[in-house]
Amino acid sequence: MSEFSGKIALVTGSSGIGRAIALRLAQGGADVVVLGIDAANNASLADTARDAGLSLTVLQADVSEADQVEKAVGEIVARHGGLDIIVNAAAIHPYGDAVETSPETFLQCLKVNVGSIHLTAHHGIPALRRRGGGVIINLASVQGFACQAGVAAYVASKGAIHALTRTMALDHARENIRVVSISPASVRTPILALAAQTFDGPDADLDAVFARFGEAHPIGRIAEPEEIAELAAFLASTKAGFITGSDHKIDGGLTAAIAVR
């Protein structure tokens, strides 16, 4: 695969969906730089990419901090000569309703999940402009449309991503910069493992819990990160050149159903 040959991509998040998308873009020929906060995840991704002979590097960074994102974007441009694709996949997932969620936790969730998208755009869009355009993909969630109880901060952040995606798409369409979001349902990621351990205990059988989660989806299973990565790869490609300002559900039919049985 070489559909991204000559392209430079920035991906936030070095585990789960971010990891899968970074590897997929690199497999397609892109020079990929991943920003991740977890040292173990960063090292694992770097090792995988190196063993596969991919052009993928990982930088330690907290993408909710403006100075760290600015520095990282500067390093990418200096090293690779520009930037063409930005994928915002970094996220945290606190649990609790509005009373149970502290103001600090609520704001931190927004800072990571939404603020990081603003920061990569604020510092990255000038680099996209210099390349004649580009693509920004924001990872949202079906919980931006319909939600579970007890996830007030996370749901607020994912709904905000939908709105931010739309306005960014409108603001930058004339600059040949496309902006879209992806809304997955349950995906086999560390965040879903956290959900399993939160509700079934720290010693939960993850495969059994994931199978139960999958039963809620009409297709009968949860998604694999690589399936989300394939959608992202399509949206980042020239095949999707007329797509901007839109959200793309990949949810196994979850939001097509109603709860009545």
Convert the pLDDT of each residue in 35-68 to its tens digit: 999 999 999 999 999 999 999 999 999 999 999 9
Convert the pLDDT of each residue in 66-78 to its tens digit: 999 999 999 999 9
Residues forming a β-bridge with 135: 85, 178
What does each C-alpha distance from 171 to 166, 168, 188 come to in angstroms?
A: 9, 5, 34
Rounded Cα–Cα distance for residues 213 and 122 (Å): 37
Convert the pLDDT of each residue in 130-149 to its tens digit: 999 999 999 999 999 999 99
Indicate if 154 belongs to the active site.
yes
Among 173, 165, 182, which Cα is nearest to 250's?
Answer: 182
- 261 pLDDT tier (thresholds 50, 70, 90): low
- The full set of domain ranges for the chain reads 8-184+224-248, 185-222
Count Cβ atoms below 10 Å from residue 116 Cβ, excluding itself: 25
Report yes or no: 75 and 175 within 8 Å, Cβ to Cβ. no
Rounded Cα–Cα distance for residues 22 and 176 (Å): 23
Q: Which of 154, 155, 209, 231 is catalytic?
A: 154
Of all residues in the chain, the percent with pLDDT exceeding 90 is 95
Helices (H), 52-189: 66-80, 103-110, 116-130, 152-172
Convert the pLDDT of each residue in 192-211 to its tens digit: 998 889 889 999 999 999 99
CA contacts within 13 A on the Cβ side of 46: 14
What kind of fold does domain 8-184+224-248 have according to CATH? Rossmann fold (3.40.50)
Please tell me the pTM assigned to this model: 0.96
